Amino acid sequence: MRLLISLLALLTAATAHAEWTADVYAGGAHTPRSNMTLLVNTAFSGQADHEFHNVRWENSLELGARASWWLPSAPWYGVGVEFFHFDADIPSQTVDTTIRGTTAPATLGEIDVSVMTLAFDLVRLRYRGALQPYFNAGPALFRVKVTNKGNSELTNKPATDTAWGYLLGAGVAWPFAKNAALFSEFRYSHVKAEPVLESTLSPASIPLRFDLNTQHLIVGLNYAF
């Protein structure tokens, strides 16, 4: 018990002298072309996955906020947690589609993809100066919501998947006041998602498997407490 009380006292003292910072930011998210697969396996047709090649994802606005805690004994190192949202909607397009080994052009209808992310920056490194470059990395929990809009073989009922991925970022901050700074940051996130959609042709569920490898460019305001 004495040891626990001593550790709590040390943690409280360290926290009291630590630097806390809060960020709000906005920017853009770009997901490069990639493949996606409808996993089709029914009692009538058997395995008949639809693999769509080189699918285009639309760019979107990104909004987020972050809180960080910097070690008092090593102010160049910190940890943080952040929440942000972006979209990666799929517009209607013609893509090469492989079904049972045969590839031919086919129309992929519109699908909305909304992504909410809770990221844990277990590593935050910074250099203190007139300009402050920094780096952060850590795991992230993604909630991916998919809504079919233009594919008649699927219902319009939204489907969600929650999956772990990661977030990497590097940027530079410019302190323009004692406790405030502007920053710009480039980030890269990755998650593999598999939300389960519903078919209009049978009672079967149809998982949609894809990777989101997204590039983010954000600018924001930082305030130190």
**Could you read off the pLDDT of 149-186 as tens digits, one per residue?**
999 999 999 999 999 999 999 999 999 999 999 999 99
In 3-state terms, what secondary structure has residue 98? strand
**Residue 12 pLDDT:** 47
DSSP class of residue 89 equals -
Q: Give me the number of domains the chain comprises.
A: 1
Residue 174 domain flag? yes
User: Residue 10: pLDDT above 70?
Assistant: no
The two tokens of residue 58 are 């639309």
**Residue 14 pLDDT:** 46
Q: Which domain holds residue 66?
A: 18-224
Confidence band (pLDDT; 50, 70, 90) for 4?
A: very low
Residue 169: how many other CB atoms lie within 10 Å: 21
- Which pTM value belongs to this model? 0.89
Q: Which CATH number belongs to the domain containing residue 38 in this structure?
A: 2.40.160.20
Residue 82 domain flag? yes
Task: Over range 179-195, report the average pLDDT.
Answer: 98
Work out the burial of residue 9: count CB atoms within 10 Å of its CB; fewer than 13 is exposed, 13-18 middle, 19 or more buried.
Answer: exposed
Name the maximum alpha-carbon separation found in the chain. Answer: 71
**Could you read off the pLDDT of 36-87 as tens digits, one per residue?**
999 987 666 668 899 999 999 999 999 999 999 999 999 999 999 999 999 9
d(CA 182, CA 84) in angstroms, rounded, equals: 18
Chain centroid offset of residue 212 CA: 8
